[in-house]
């Protein structure tokens, strides 16, 4: 079993998620989730997205420096991550999009293995 601190570093969580198939990076623009793939970008509405899991990270020097990483699966099988600041520094577009996903009843699907 991994040490709790080691498990909680964002890099280690991203590496674990990547091994589990969460390889896409996402961003939210215009109320939709977008991939970062230049040659064939895809977009998804809240109804096409499931939040599989999420992880909160606290800054080492400042507890207010928090972020959250979401593991997301889309209806077409594309899996990836979306990060956001937590609290007052959060991106309003990301928060609004994820709130819509949660309102659709697709807020968590724990145990993504």
37-86 pLDDT, tens digit per residue, is 778 889 999 999 999 999 988 766 666 668 999 999 999 999 999 999 98
3 state DSSP class of 98:
helix
Q: Which residues contact 46 (CB under 8 A, 6 or more apart)?
A: 97, 100, 101, 103, 104
Of 53, 50, 32, the closest CA to residue 41 belongs to: 32
Give the pair of three-digit tokens for residue 69: 């990483």
pTM of the model: 0.80
pLDDT, residue 113, reads: 44
Domain map of the chain by residue range?
4-101
Check the CA dihedral 33-42-79-8 and report its sign. Answer: negative
């Amino acid at each position: 079993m991994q040490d709790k601190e080691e498990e909680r570093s964002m890099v280690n969580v991203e590496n674990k998620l990547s091994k589990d198939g969460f390889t896409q990076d996402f961003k939210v623009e215009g109320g939709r989730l977008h991939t970062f793939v230049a040659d064939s970008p895809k977009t998804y509405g809240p109804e096409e997205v499931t939040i599989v899991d999420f992880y909160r990270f606290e800054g080492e020097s400042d507890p207010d420096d928090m972020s959250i990483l979401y593991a997301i699966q889309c209806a077409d099988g594309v899996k990836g991550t979306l990060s956001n600041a937590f609290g007052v520094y959060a991106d309003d577009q990301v928060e609004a999009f994820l709130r819509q996903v949660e309102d659709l009843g697709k807020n968590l699907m724990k145990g993504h293995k």
